[in-house]
Structure 1
Amino acid sequence: MRPQEGGFTLVEMMVSVTILSLVMLATVTGLRTLASTQSSLNRVTDRNDEIRSVSSFLRDALESAVVGSSSGGLTMGGGSAEMTVFEASPTQLMWKTTMMFGESTGGSFVARVAQESDDIVLRWQKMDARGQMGDWNNAAARTLVEGAQEFSVAYRRQPNGLWLSEWDGRGAPGWVRLRIRSAERYWPDIVMEVAR
Protein backbone atom coordinates (compact mmCIF):
# COMPACT_ATOMS: atom_id res chain seq x y z
CA MET A 1 0.00 0.00 0.00
CA ARG A 2 1.31 3.45 -1.02
CA PRO A 3 1.17 6.31 1.43
CA GLN A 4 -1.33 9.00 0.39
CA GLU A 5 0.23 12.17 -0.99
CA GLY A 6 -0.66 15.53 0.73
CA GLY A 7 -2.84 18.10 -1.08
CA PHE A 8 -6.36 19.24 -1.65
CA THR A 9 -8.97 17.31 -3.51
CA LEU A 10 -10.90 18.84 -6.36
CA VAL A 11 -14.00 19.14 -4.15
CA GLU A 12 -12.06 21.01 -1.44
CA MET A 13 -10.65 23.39 -4.06
CA MET A 14 -14.11 24.06 -5.48
CA VAL A 15 -15.54 24.75 -2.00
CA SER A 16 -12.73 27.21 -1.13
CA VAL A 17 -13.02 29.02 -4.49
CA THR A 18 -16.79 29.31 -3.98
CA ILE A 19 -16.36 30.73 -0.46
CA LEU A 20 -13.68 33.16 -1.70
CA SER A 21 -15.99 34.28 -4.55
CA LEU A 22 -18.85 34.92 -2.11
CA VAL A 23 -16.57 36.97 0.17
CA MET A 24 -15.30 39.00 -2.82
CA LEU A 25 -18.88 39.55 -4.07
CA ALA A 26 -19.97 40.80 -0.64
CA THR A 27 -16.95 43.12 -0.46
CA VAL A 28 -17.55 44.62 -3.93
CA THR A 29 -21.28 45.05 -3.21
CA GLY A 30 -20.47 46.78 0.08
CA LEU A 31 -18.01 49.13 -1.63
CA ARG A 32 -20.57 50.00 -4.33
CA THR A 33 -23.22 50.71 -1.68
CA LEU A 34 -20.74 52.88 0.23
CA ALA A 35 -19.88 54.84 -2.94
CA SER A 36 -23.57 55.33 -3.74
CA THR A 37 -24.29 56.48 -0.19
CA GLN A 38 -21.35 58.87 -0.31
CA SER A 39 -22.58 60.30 -3.61
CA SER A 40 -26.10 60.80 -2.21
CA LEU A 41 -24.70 62.38 0.93
CA ASN A 42 -22.57 64.77 -1.16
CA ARG A 43 -25.64 65.81 -3.19
CA VAL A 44 -27.66 66.50 -0.04
CA THR A 45 -24.77 68.41 1.56
CA ASP A 46 -24.24 70.49 -1.60
CA ARG A 47 -27.97 71.29 -1.73
CA ASN A 48 -28.01 72.34 1.93
CA ASP A 49 -24.91 74.50 1.39
CA GLU A 50 -26.57 76.13 -1.62
CA ILE A 51 -29.76 76.83 0.36
CA ARG A 52 -27.80 78.25 3.29
CA SER A 53 -25.58 80.39 1.07
CA VAL A 54 -28.41 81.88 -1.03
CA SER A 55 -30.65 82.43 2.00
CA SER A 56 -27.88 84.12 3.99
CA PHE A 57 -26.87 86.35 1.08
CA LEU A 58 -30.45 87.48 0.40
CA ARG A 59 -31.11 88.17 4.08
CA ASP A 60 -27.96 90.29 4.36
CA ALA A 61 -28.76 92.18 1.15
CA LEU A 62 -32.35 92.89 2.22
CA GLU A 63 -31.25 93.96 5.71
CA SER A 64 -29.05 96.63 4.13
CA ALA A 65 -31.94 97.99 2.04
CA VAL A 66 -32.17 101.76 1.80
CA VAL A 67 -35.18 103.05 3.76
CA GLY A 68 -37.09 105.98 2.29
CA SER A 69 -38.28 108.82 4.50
CA SER A 70 -41.33 110.30 2.78
CA SER A 71 -43.27 107.15 1.93
CA GLY A 72 -42.56 105.26 5.13
CA GLY A 73 -41.02 102.34 3.27
CA LEU A 74 -38.20 101.19 1.08
CA THR A 75 -37.75 103.42 -1.94
CA MET A 76 -35.45 103.90 -4.87
CA GLY A 77 -34.64 107.38 -3.58
CA GLY A 78 -34.71 110.54 -5.59
CA GLY A 79 -36.78 112.90 -3.45
CA SER A 80 -40.23 113.56 -4.90
CA ALA A 81 -39.69 111.03 -7.68
CA GLU A 82 -39.30 108.13 -5.24
CA MET A 83 -40.33 104.77 -6.59
CA THR A 84 -41.43 101.92 -4.35
CA VAL A 85 -38.91 99.11 -4.20
CA PHE A 86 -41.41 96.28 -4.24
CA GLU A 87 -43.22 96.16 -7.54
CA ALA A 88 -46.49 94.34 -7.97
CA SER A 89 -44.83 91.20 -9.20
CA PRO A 90 -44.98 87.62 -7.94
CA THR A 91 -41.85 86.72 -9.92
CA GLN A 92 -39.21 89.24 -8.89
CA LEU A 93 -37.91 91.16 -5.91
CA MET A 94 -36.24 94.53 -6.40
CA TRP A 95 -34.72 96.87 -3.81
CA LYS A 96 -32.06 99.52 -3.31
CA THR A 97 -29.15 98.30 -1.21
CA THR A 98 -25.52 98.79 -0.36
CA MET A 99 -23.39 95.96 -1.72
CA MET A 100 -19.67 95.30 -1.36
CA PHE A 101 -17.65 93.38 -3.92
CA GLY A 102 -14.32 92.49 -2.36
CA GLU A 103 -12.59 94.80 0.08
CA SER A 104 -12.74 98.10 -1.77
CA THR A 105 -15.40 97.92 -4.48
CA GLY A 106 -19.07 98.51 -3.90
CA GLY A 107 -21.65 101.16 -3.27
CA SER A 108 -25.36 101.81 -3.55
CA PHE A 109 -27.13 99.66 -6.15
CA VAL A 110 -30.60 98.66 -7.18
CA ALA A 111 -30.73 94.86 -6.92
CA ARG A 112 -33.19 92.50 -8.57
CA VAL A 113 -33.71 88.78 -8.01
CA ALA A 114 -35.79 87.03 -10.68
CA GLN A 115 -36.02 83.79 -12.58
CA GLU A 116 -34.40 83.94 -16.01
CA SER A 117 -34.96 80.79 -18.04
CA ASP A 118 -33.93 77.97 -15.71
CA ASP A 119 -31.85 80.04 -13.30
CA ILE A 120 -32.56 82.43 -10.46
CA VAL A 121 -30.36 85.41 -11.14
CA LEU A 122 -29.31 88.41 -9.06
CA ARG A 123 -28.73 91.53 -11.16
CA TRP A 124 -27.57 94.91 -9.92
CA GLN A 125 -27.03 98.35 -11.39
CA LYS A 126 -26.56 101.94 -10.36
CA MET A 127 -29.12 104.60 -11.15
CA ASP A 128 -28.04 107.41 -13.42
CA ALA A 129 -27.98 111.11 -12.38
CA ARG A 130 -31.71 111.45 -13.17
CA GLY A 131 -32.59 108.47 -10.95
CA GLN A 132 -33.31 106.19 -13.92
CA MET A 133 -32.18 102.62 -14.37
CA GLY A 134 -30.88 100.99 -17.52
CA ASP A 135 -32.00 97.77 -19.17
CA TRP A 136 -31.88 94.87 -16.68
CA ASN A 137 -30.64 92.53 -19.42
CA ASN A 138 -27.42 94.56 -19.60
CA ALA A 139 -26.92 94.79 -15.82
CA ALA A 140 -24.18 92.90 -13.97
CA ALA A 141 -25.41 89.46 -12.92
CA ARG A 142 -24.71 86.47 -10.74
CA THR A 143 -26.59 83.19 -10.87
CA LEU A 144 -27.89 82.25 -7.41
CA VAL A 145 -29.63 78.96 -8.26
CA GLU A 146 -29.11 76.89 -11.39
CA GLY A 147 -31.86 74.69 -12.78
CA ALA A 148 -34.72 76.37 -10.91
CA GLN A 149 -38.13 74.97 -11.77
CA GLU A 150 -40.14 77.50 -9.78
CA PHE A 151 -39.54 80.89 -8.19
CA SER A 152 -42.24 83.00 -6.56
CA VAL A 153 -42.32 86.00 -4.26
CA ALA A 154 -45.04 86.74 -1.69
CA TYR A 155 -45.49 89.71 0.62
CA ARG A 156 -46.99 90.19 4.06
CA ARG A 157 -47.74 93.50 5.76
CA GLN A 158 -48.44 92.21 9.30
CA PRO A 159 -46.84 89.27 11.17
CA ASN A 160 -50.05 87.21 11.07
CA GLY A 161 -51.41 88.62 7.82
CA LEU A 162 -52.06 86.77 4.61
CA TRP A 163 -49.29 86.22 2.09
CA LEU A 164 -50.00 88.29 -1.02
CA SER A 165 -48.56 87.39 -4.42
CA GLU A 166 -49.15 90.93 -5.74
CA TRP A 167 -47.80 93.88 -3.75
CA ASP A 168 -49.96 97.02 -3.78
CA GLY A 169 -46.94 99.35 -3.82
CA ARG A 170 -47.96 101.24 -0.68
CA GLY A 171 -44.74 101.50 1.32
CA ALA A 172 -42.78 98.37 2.04
CA PRO A 173 -44.11 95.04 3.22
CA GLY A 174 -43.12 93.77 6.64
CA TRP A 175 -42.01 90.39 5.32
CA VAL A 176 -41.03 88.81 2.02
CA ARG A 177 -41.23 85.09 1.27
CA LEU A 178 -39.30 83.43 -1.54
CA ARG A 179 -40.37 79.98 -2.69
CA ILE A 180 -37.86 78.05 -4.79
CA ARG A 181 -38.10 74.63 -6.41
CA SER A 182 -35.10 72.94 -8.02
CA ALA A 183 -34.07 69.35 -8.67
CA GLU A 184 -37.71 68.29 -8.25
CA ARG A 185 -37.72 69.47 -4.62
CA TYR A 186 -38.96 72.57 -2.85
CA TRP A 187 -36.50 74.49 -0.72
CA PRO A 188 -37.63 75.54 2.73
CA ASP A 189 -39.36 78.92 2.30
CA ILE A 190 -36.98 81.86 2.70
CA VAL A 191 -38.84 84.38 4.86
CA MET A 192 -37.14 87.73 5.44
CA GLU A 193 -38.19 90.71 7.52
CA VAL A 194 -37.90 93.96 5.63
CA ALA A 195 -35.99 96.85 7.21
CA ARG A 196 -38.28 99.70 8.30
Structure 2
Amino acid sequence: MGEQRGFTLVEVVVALTVMSLLVLATLTAVRTLGDTHTRVEATTLRLDEMRLVSQFLRNSLRQAVPVRTLARPGGYLLGGRDELSWIAPLQGVEGVAGLQYKRLFLDGDTLMIQFVPFHPALESPDWAEATAHPLLTDVSEFTLAFRENPQSAWLEQWGEQEGVVPRALKLQLRVRERYWPDLIVLPDLYQAGY
Protein backbone atom coordinates (compact mmCIF):
# COMPACT_ATOMS: atom_id res chain seq x y z
CA MET A 1 0.00 0.00 0.00
CA GLY A 2 1.02 3.45 -0.76
CA GLU A 3 1.95 5.88 1.90
CA GLN A 4 -0.95 8.13 2.87
CA ARG A 5 0.04 11.69 3.33
CA GLY A 6 -2.04 14.11 5.48
CA PHE A 7 -1.60 17.72 6.40
CA THR A 8 1.11 18.62 8.80
CA LEU A 9 0.38 20.70 11.85
CA VAL A 10 2.23 23.67 10.30
CA GLU A 11 0.06 23.50 7.15
CA VAL A 12 -3.13 23.38 9.23
CA VAL A 13 -2.02 26.40 11.32
CA VAL A 14 -1.10 28.38 8.17
CA ALA A 15 -4.45 27.54 6.53
CA LEU A 16 -6.38 28.55 9.66
CA THR A 17 -4.40 31.82 9.90
CA VAL A 18 -5.11 32.71 6.27
CA MET A 19 -8.79 31.84 6.68
CA SER A 20 -8.98 33.93 9.90
CA LEU A 21 -7.43 36.90 8.09
CA LEU A 22 -9.98 36.56 5.27
CA VAL A 23 -12.88 36.41 7.75
CA LEU A 24 -11.49 39.40 9.65
CA ALA A 25 -11.14 41.43 6.44
CA THR A 26 -14.69 40.54 5.42
CA LEU A 27 -16.13 41.50 8.83
CA THR A 28 -14.18 44.78 8.81
CA ALA A 29 -15.53 45.61 5.34
CA VAL A 30 -19.12 44.83 6.41
CA ARG A 31 -18.75 46.95 9.57
CA THR A 32 -17.25 49.87 7.60
CA LEU A 33 -20.10 49.62 5.11
CA GLY A 34 -22.65 49.70 7.96
CA ASP A 35 -20.94 52.72 9.59
CA THR A 36 -20.85 54.52 6.24
CA HIS A 37 -24.55 53.84 5.73
CA THR A 38 -25.34 55.24 9.20
CA ARG A 39 -23.27 58.39 8.56
CA VAL A 40 -24.85 58.92 5.13
CA GLU A 41 -28.32 58.49 6.63
CA ALA A 42 -27.57 60.98 9.44
CA THR A 43 -26.19 63.49 6.94
CA THR A 44 -29.24 63.06 4.72
CA LEU A 45 -31.59 63.64 7.66
CA ARG A 46 -29.61 66.72 8.73
CA LEU A 47 -29.70 68.15 5.20
CA ASP A 48 -33.44 67.43 4.88
CA GLU A 49 -34.06 69.23 8.17
CA MET A 50 -31.96 72.18 7.01
CA ARG A 51 -33.79 72.32 3.69
CA LEU A 52 -37.28 72.11 5.22
CA VAL A 53 -36.69 74.66 7.98
CA SER A 54 -34.89 77.05 5.62
CA GLN A 55 -37.66 76.76 3.04
CA PHE A 56 -40.37 77.37 5.66
CA LEU A 57 -38.59 80.42 7.08
CA ARG A 58 -37.75 81.79 3.64
CA ASN A 59 -41.37 81.50 2.46
CA SER A 60 -42.83 82.96 5.63
CA LEU A 61 -40.41 85.89 5.84
CA ARG A 62 -40.59 86.54 2.12
CA GLN A 63 -44.34 87.05 2.48
CA ALA A 64 -43.99 89.67 5.24
CA VAL A 65 -46.52 92.39 4.50
CA PRO A 66 -46.34 96.06 5.47
CA VAL A 67 -49.66 96.06 7.30
CA ARG A 68 -50.32 99.26 9.19
CA THR A 69 -52.21 98.63 12.37
CA LEU A 70 -54.10 101.27 14.33
CA ALA A 71 -51.48 101.10 17.04
CA ARG A 72 -48.52 100.95 14.63
CA PRO A 73 -49.19 103.15 11.60
CA GLY A 74 -45.60 102.66 10.45
CA GLY A 75 -46.18 98.96 9.90
CA TYR A 76 -45.45 95.85 11.92
CA LEU A 77 -42.11 94.11 11.67
CA LEU A 78 -40.04 94.17 14.83
CA GLY A 79 -36.80 92.39 15.44
CA GLY A 80 -33.66 92.18 17.48
CA ARG A 81 -30.63 89.93 17.33
CA ASP A 82 -32.54 86.86 18.51
CA GLU A 83 -36.27 87.52 18.09
CA LEU A 84 -38.51 88.55 15.22
CA SER A 85 -42.21 89.44 14.97
CA TRP A 86 -43.96 90.12 11.66
CA ILE A 87 -47.27 89.81 9.80
CA ALA A 88 -47.64 87.38 6.90
CA PRO A 89 -50.18 84.96 5.49
CA LEU A 90 -50.25 81.50 7.02
CA GLN A 91 -50.69 78.85 4.38
CA GLY A 92 -50.84 75.10 4.54
CA VAL A 93 -52.11 74.88 8.12
CA GLU A 94 -55.44 73.14 8.51
CA GLY A 95 -58.22 75.39 9.79
CA VAL A 96 -56.10 78.56 9.79
CA ALA A 97 -55.97 81.07 6.96
CA GLY A 98 -55.37 84.73 6.38
CA LEU A 99 -52.90 87.12 7.94
CA GLN A 100 -51.17 86.08 11.13
CA TYR A 101 -48.83 87.74 13.58
CA LYS A 102 -45.77 85.51 13.69
CA ARG A 103 -42.98 85.39 16.24
CA LEU A 104 -39.68 83.54 15.87
CA PHE A 105 -37.44 83.20 18.95
CA LEU A 106 -34.97 80.96 20.72
CA ASP A 107 -36.14 79.22 23.89
CA GLY A 108 -33.18 77.43 25.47
CA ASP A 109 -31.83 75.35 22.59
CA THR A 110 -35.09 75.22 20.62
CA LEU A 111 -36.09 77.62 17.86
CA MET A 112 -39.79 78.32 18.40
CA ILE A 113 -42.49 79.96 16.30
CA GLN A 114 -45.86 81.36 17.39
CA PHE A 115 -48.94 82.41 15.41
CA VAL A 116 -51.77 84.75 16.42
CA PRO A 117 -54.59 85.80 14.05
CA PHE A 118 -54.13 89.35 12.80
CA HIS A 119 -56.32 92.11 14.17
CA PRO A 120 -55.63 95.73 13.15
CA ALA A 121 -56.49 97.11 16.60
CA LEU A 122 -53.76 95.10 18.35
CA GLU A 123 -50.50 96.88 19.03
CA SER A 124 -48.88 93.55 19.72
CA PRO A 125 -50.39 90.13 20.37
CA ASP A 126 -50.22 88.60 23.82
CA TRP A 127 -47.43 86.15 23.07
CA ALA A 128 -47.67 84.67 26.58
CA GLU A 129 -51.10 83.29 25.65
CA ALA A 130 -50.05 81.99 22.21
CA THR A 131 -48.93 78.40 21.73
CA ALA A 132 -45.24 78.08 20.85
CA HIS A 133 -44.38 75.44 18.27
CA PRO A 134 -40.88 73.93 18.12
CA LEU A 135 -39.32 74.50 14.73
CA LEU A 136 -35.77 73.26 15.33
CA THR A 137 -33.91 71.67 18.26
CA ASP A 138 -30.27 71.66 19.36
CA VAL A 139 -29.80 75.30 18.30
CA SER A 140 -26.77 76.85 19.99
CA GLU A 141 -26.80 80.15 18.10
CA PHE A 142 -29.54 82.19 16.42
CA THR A 143 -29.04 85.77 15.25
CA LEU A 144 -30.93 88.12 12.98
CA ALA A 145 -29.80 91.13 10.98
CA PHE A 146 -31.70 93.62 8.85
CA ARG A 147 -30.75 95.72 5.84
CA GLU A 148 -32.43 98.98 4.83
CA ASN A 149 -31.16 98.93 1.25
CA PRO A 150 -28.63 96.93 -0.78
CA GLN A 151 -25.77 99.33 0.03
CA SER A 152 -26.40 99.75 3.76
CA ALA A 153 -24.78 97.83 6.59
CA TRP A 154 -26.61 95.08 8.42
CA LEU A 155 -28.52 96.35 11.48
CA GLU A 156 -29.02 94.36 14.68
CA GLN A 157 -32.44 95.86 15.41
CA TRP A 158 -35.47 96.65 13.29
CA GLY A 159 -38.37 98.66 14.60
CA GLU A 160 -41.14 100.93 13.50
CA GLN A 161 -38.77 103.87 13.04
CA GLU A 162 -36.67 102.01 10.44
CA GLY A 163 -39.48 101.69 7.95
CA VAL A 164 -42.18 99.24 7.08
CA VAL A 165 -40.27 96.10 6.12
CA PRO A 166 -36.49 95.79 5.66
CA ARG A 167 -35.13 95.23 2.17
CA ALA A 168 -33.38 92.08 3.40
CA LEU A 169 -33.31 89.88 6.50
CA LYS A 170 -30.43 87.59 7.42
CA LEU A 171 -30.75 84.61 9.76
CA GLN A 172 -27.71 82.82 11.12
CA LEU A 173 -28.13 79.44 12.80
CA ARG A 174 -25.75 77.06 14.52
CA VAL A 175 -27.36 73.66 14.97
CA ARG A 176 -25.64 70.66 16.58
CA GLU A 177 -22.37 72.62 16.60
CA ARG A 178 -22.51 73.18 12.83
CA TYR A 179 -23.21 76.52 11.18
CA TRP A 180 -25.92 76.53 8.55
CA PRO A 181 -25.45 78.69 5.48
CA ASP A 182 -26.76 82.22 6.14
CA LEU A 183 -30.41 82.51 5.14
CA ILE A 184 -30.91 85.86 3.40
CA VAL A 185 -34.51 86.72 2.53
CA LEU A 186 -35.71 89.51 0.25
CA PRO A 187 -39.39 90.32 0.90
CA ASP A 188 -41.71 89.94 -2.09
CA LEU A 189 -43.03 93.48 -1.83
CA TYR A 190 -39.67 94.88 -2.99
CA GLN A 191 -39.36 92.37 -5.78
CA ALA A 192 -42.82 93.42 -6.99
CA GLY A 193 -41.64 97.03 -7.30
CA TYR A 194 -43.22 98.66 -4.25
Query: Under a length normalisation based on structure 1, what TM-score does the superposition of the two structures give?
Result: 0.84
Q: Please provide the CA RMSD for this pair.
A: 2.2
Structure 1 residue 84: deviation in Å?
3.7
Query: Paired residue for 1:96, among 87, 94, 118?
Result: 87
Is there any run of 5+ residues in structure 2 with no aligned partner, and where?
Answer: 190-194
Percent identity, please: 32
**Residues 119, 146 of structure 1: 8 Å contact kept:** yes
Equivalent residue for 1:18?
17
**Residues 125, 133 of structure 1: 8 Å contact kept:** no
**Residues 127, 133 of structure 1: 8 Å contact kept:** no
Structure 1 residue 168: deviation in Å?
4.7
Within a 5 Å distance, the mapping from 1:103-118 to structure 2 comes to 105-118=96-109
Deviations 1:90-142 (Å, cap 9, x if unpaired)? Answer: 11121111112446532221011111111111111124573254432331332
**Residues 126, 133 of structure 1: 8 Å contact kept:** no
Equivalent residue for 1:157?
148
Query: Under a length normalisation based on structure 2, what TM-score does the superposition of the two structures give?
Result: 0.85
Q: Using the alignment, how far apart are the partners of 1:102 and 1:168 within structure 2?
A: 28
Structure 1 residue 22: deviation in Å?
0.4
Is 1:188 the equivalent of 2:142? Answer: no
Within a 5 Å distance, the mapping from 1:58-73 to structure 2 comes to 58-66=57-65
Give the direction of change, closer, same or farther, for the CA distance of 1:168–1:94 in structure 2 (3 Å limit). Answer: closer
Structure 1 stretches of at least 4 aligned residues deviating more than 6 Å after TM superposition: none
Within a 5 Å distance, the mapping from 1:137-156 to structure 2 comes to 137-156=128-147
**Residues 95, 112 of structure 1: 8 Å contact kept:** yes
Deviations 1:29-83 (Å, cap 9, x if unpaired)? Answer: 11121122222212221121111111111111122222xxxxxxx24x3346436
The amino acid across from 1:53 in the alignment is L
Is there any run of 5+ residues in structure 1 with no aligned partner, and where?
Answer: 67-73
Structure 1 residue 154: deviation in Å?
0.3
The amino acid across from 1:145 in the alignment is L
**Residues 69, 76 of structure 2: 8 Å contact kept:** no
Give the direction of change, closer, same or farther, for the CA distance of 1:123–1:83 in structure 2 (3 Å limit). Answer: farther
SS of 1:137's partner is: coil
Aligned residues: 187
Structure 1 residue 20: deviation in Å?
0.9
